[in-house]
Amino acid sequence: ADPDDGRLVRTALATATLGLGWAQLDALFSNEMKWEACVLQFRGYRECWRRQGVLPMLRKLLNDFSVPARLFGLNTHQQQSVEGGERIMTDLLHLAELLQQASTLIEGEHGLIRYLVEERQASSEGNGGGDARQIRLESDGDLVKVVTIHKSKGLEYPLVFLPFVCAHRPARPDDMPLKWHDAQGDLQVALADTGGVLQKVDRERLGEDLRKLYVALTRARYATWIGMAEIEEFERSAIGHLLNGGKVLAAGGLVKSLEEAFGASTDIAITPAPEPDGERLARQDDAMRQGKARKSVRVMREPWSVASYSSLKKMSHGAWIAPDTSSEEGFIEARDAELERDEDDTRPSQSSQPLRRAAVQPAARALHDFPRGSEEGSFLHDLLEWAAQRGFAEVAADSGPLREVVARRCSVRGWERWIDPLTEWIAQILTTPLALSGKQGIKATSVTLSGLRESIAEMEFWLAAHHVDTAAIDGLVSKYTVGRVERPAIEPAQLNGMLKGFMDLVFEHEGRYYVADYKSNWLGADDAAYTAEKIRAQILRSRYDLQYVLYLLALHRLLKARQPNYDYDTHIGGAVYLFLRGLNAATQGVYAERPPRELIERLDALFTGDAPVADVEAA
């Protein structure tokens, strides 16, 4: 395909298929004139490939380099054939035919090369290719062939067996139309047996049977076996007519007639058919040999997968005891991007249940009485995502479009009574200053969504993971977040591939960048349930600490690549988790934390495979 690439031409010349010796290769590579002629020769193969096809090209290449003669030991200087040469030649021609068939559907030389590579790879993986790829026999000389007498015309076989040579089918009156040839050789047709028509038709059938019998008896090179029996109307068969002139044999007269006709011949033996038994032919050259154990050619690929925060499962057992939150019925919204359902919550969605109040409820009550479930959590997320894309400030300034969106989405769900409460709730979320003062590592005092200058909703991220141990991640996160409080462990696993996720909101405030996540968890029936202790307990129980650390790692990677003079302590603000139903509580349902720089940098090294072994073991 690329004869002007000297490296490829040299590689081709050195293959076992072409079989050039060291002296021949040295003569080609060291003589400039010979090398130039060789390159021109390969250019000719490429032109032949383009004009005539890959099969003619390969046949020409094999013949030019005397590959068949070398494999079969036909070279004058070669003492004997290459071991397995016939097998090799059969496989080469088979591959050439398969490539020729594929070339009718594939355009271009490189497309066919890619096809060959893919087929070889599929074969090494154990994927069958059907009958076309079955290894062919290098020779059919030792096979038993079953062919009709008509198809054997012109062929020769070492041994011939004719077990059914007595079989025949005389002409019958119902073989309409009756056809025969007259004395002038013209075809005649009749629709009734009148005037000896049937006799003429049967005589013509007998003549054809005699011609085929002659073909059958003259195919053998060494010997012919003929099976004979006194079947009904034996005399009307070709062999019966030849043996007895068409006369009816007397009972038991077949053997006598055969002996009279051929008994004196030294080349013909008349023997009775052997009695059937269980004896089987055993080839004398089939010696039992114990070879080496076969080795698997399957290529075991490195396990690779795409994981997410939701795929990191908490252990269902262990010594960790959850804080006393008996009034909690937490659940986590499920989204298309990440399924983050809290395994501790088995309470079903109440969206299909009758609402407890018929009248429109105040916003304060709507926060706690709004139905709970994965569908409702996704519903709230979608509204806040819409608000972010439209612009928090614009939505806060004019609640008309917000109400239209809420009304449209509530109507299709039968939630008409929640239109006004939800509109007030979303507007309150956007305009309420969220207190961040005193949160762990957070520098900002407060943040208002409608006051943000820059924000991106549902930012997607992908992190490469090279054999990352989840136990090491868990150990680092537990060591550096939420005051080292004990929490459910993550099941041990290996992350190898990609870690993906979607961040609800990424925003910039006072020169620092934050990740925010909306949580619709229901922690209790009123604002008093959303205390700092209970929110922290929910963070630990659902392992949101692991989630926001991974989010901050992704943000750290992004800013390090794009922010001039990036510094974690200067540019990373932290993670803000907003429990929406606790907006009116003293805590405002806010949990915020900025993990220390050391944690993010150690996780970064862990994901890139640069973490020292001692650090991983310690984590």
Q: Report, as residue numbers or ranges, the catalytic residues.
A: 517
Phi, psi of 381 (to 5 degrees): -60, -45
434 membership: H or E segment, kind and range: strand 434-435
The torsion defined by the Cα of 499, 494, 537 and 577, in degrees rounded to 10, comes to -10
CB atoms within 10 A of CB 214: 13
CA 233 to the chain's CA centroid: 64
Is residue 162 within 8 Å of residue 227, measured between CB atoms? yes
Q: Which of 57, 52, 82, 49 is nearest to 68 (CA)?
A: 82
What six digits make up the tokens of 198? Answer: 């049937």
CA 3 to the chain's CA centroid: 34
Cα–Cα distance between 8 and 593 in angstroms, integer?
60
Is residue 374 within 8 Å of residue 333, measured between CB atoms? yes
What six digits make up the tokens of 273? Answer: 């058919």
Q: C-alpha angle with apex 134: 130 to 139, nearest 5 degrees?
A: 150
Cα–Cα distance between 131 and 125 in angstroms, integer?
17
The β-bridge partners of 499 are: 307, 463
221 membership: H or E segment, kind and range: strand 220-226
Q: Given phi > 0 = left and psi -120 to 50 = alpha, else beta, which region is 589? A: left
The torsion defined by the Cα of 546, 551, 553 and 554, in degrees rounded to 10, comes to 150
